[in-house]
Structure 1
Amino acid sequence: MLGVDDVAGRVGTIGFRCRGCGACCRRVAEDSNLVLVSPAEVRAIMAATTMAWDEVAEPYPEFIDAGNGGEYTLAWCVRRTADACIFLCEGRCSIYAHRPWICRTYPFMLVDDDLMVSECPGIGAPISPRDAQALGADLCSRQAAEGAEEAGLRGVFERTTVPPGRRAVIDSEGVKVVHG
């Protein structure tokens, strides 16, 4: 795994400054603004907004046949309208202080020891060493959180079954039956 200084150095070389355009929050293609969230992130947003789970999150849209008439998916996503994330209000994030890791670190993502960069108008802009360091720290924290969620999910998946004829999300907390 890369350390914070390594990641910050790579981010600094690439450069980035958020332009506040909100393009990453808008649907420009099918699932272009799909924001995966862990149960812990859903709960943090719920606490900040007093919204219920199903108001904050929706199941990842691709379901797998469980072989018993049921289906499951392995992730949650932030709810969206037809056009954008539900938390994009007047061009700004209404949960900015509580936004998920994906939003906090966009347009960057660590995959093993590779720094992946998504399309974004802010790429290539000068970034201060302090901001690169903060983003590097967030990316490393995100990678650790995603690893912990994956390990928890694996443990739950190995010991559970989807209720026959039902749709469910399997996450690190267990199996959650969903309606619709």
Structure 2
Amino acid sequence: MLGVDDVATRLGSVGFRCRECGACCRRVAEDSNLVLVSPAEVRAIMAVTGMAWDKVAEPYPDFISADNGGEYTLAWCLRRTADACIFLRDGRCSIYARRPWICRTYPFMLVDDDLAVSECPGLGAPLTPLDARDAAADLCRRQAAEAVEEAGIRAVFHEATVPPGKRAVIDSEGVKVLDD
């Protein structure tokens, strides 16, 4: 895994400044604004909004068939309208202080020992060494949080049973059967 200093160096060479355009929150192509969230992130958003789980999150849209006629997916996403994330209001994020890791670190992501960069109008802008280090620290924390969530899903998955004919999300907290 890359360390904070290595990531900061790479971020500095790419450059970035958020233009607050909200393009990353809008659907520009099929699932372009699909934001994966952990159960902990859903609960944090619920705490600040007072919204129920199913109003904050939706199952990841790709389901896998179980042997018993049921189906499951392994992730949650922020709920969306046809056009944008439900938390994009008047061009701004209404949960900015509790936004998920994906949103906090966009347009960057650490994939093993590589920095992945998504398209964004803010790329190429000068980034101070302090800002690069802060962003790098966030990316490393995100990578660690995702590794913990993935390990939790693996542990639950081995014991998971999807009820026959039902749809469910298997996450680090267990099997959550979806309402029909």
Q: TM-score, normalised by structure 2?
A: 0.99
Secondary structure in 1 matching 2:9: helix
Matched, 1:52 2:48: no
Match of 2:142 in 1: 142
Alpha-carbon separation, structure 2, partners of 1:56 and 1:8: 32
Alpha-carbon separation, structure 2, partners of 1:10 and 1:179: 45
Secondary structure in 2 matching 1:179: coil
What are the equivalent positions in structure 2 for 1:76-115 lying under 5 Å apart? Answer: 76-115=76-115
Deviations 1:31-54 (A, max 9, x none): 000000000000000011111100
Match of 1:63 in 2: 63
The AA in structure 2 aligned to 1:123 is L
> How far apart are 1:69 and its partner, in Å?
1.1
Q: How many residues align?
A: 180
Runs (4+) off by over 6 Å: none
> How far apart are 1:160 and its partner, in Å?
1.1
Matched, 1:73 2:51: no
Match of 1:176 in 2: 176
Q: TM-score, normalised by structure 1?
A: 0.99
Secondary structure in 2 matching 1:41: helix
Alpha-carbon separation, structure 2, partners of 1:92 and 1:9: 29
Alpha-carbon separation, structure 1, partners of 2:48 and 2:12: 32
Percent of aligned positions with the same letter in both sequences?
80
Alpha-carbon separation, structure 2, partners of 1:179 and 1:33: 24
Alpha-carbon separation, structure 2, partners of 1:176 and 1:85: 23
Matched, 1:19 2:19: yes
Match of 1:164 in 2: 164
Secondary structure in 1 matching 2:46: helix
Secondary structure in 2 matching 1:116: strand
The AA in structure 2 aligned to 1:53 is W
RMSD in angstroms over aligned alpha carbons? 0.6
Match of 2:151 in 1: 151
Deviations 1:102-135 (A, max 9, x none): 0000000000000000000011100111111110
The AA in structure 2 aligned to 1:128 is T
Secondary structure in 2 matching 1:72: strand
The AA in structure 1 aligned to 2:98 is H
Alpha-carbon separation, structure 2, partners of 1:80 and 1:110: 25
> How far apart are 1:179 and its partner, in Å?
2.1
Secondary structure in 1 matching 2:34: coil
Gaps of 5+ in 1: none
Gaps of 5+ in 2: none
Matched, 1:116 2:116: yes
Alpha-carbon separation, structure 2, partners of 1:154 and 1:3: 25
The AA in structure 2 aligned to 1:152 is G
